Chain A
Amino acid sequence: MRGALVGTALALACSPAPAQEMAGPELAPYVVTGDAIIEPLAGQRGDAALGRALIGERHRSLCILCHAVPEGAAPLQGTLAPSLAGIGSRLDEGQIRLRIVDMKRLNPESLMPTYHAPPDGARIAPAWQGKPVLGAAEIEHLVAYLVTLKE
Chain B
Amino acid sequence: MAEHAPAHAADSHGHGHTSYVKIWAILVVLLIVSIIGPEFGIRVVTLITAFGIAIVKAYMVAKHFMHLGIERKWVSYILLVMLAFMLVFFAGVAPDVLEHDGQNWIKLYEEPAVGAGHATTTH
- The answer to whether A and B come from one shared complex is no
Binding site for B on A (CB under 8 A): none
Chain B residues in contact with chain A, CB under 8 A? none
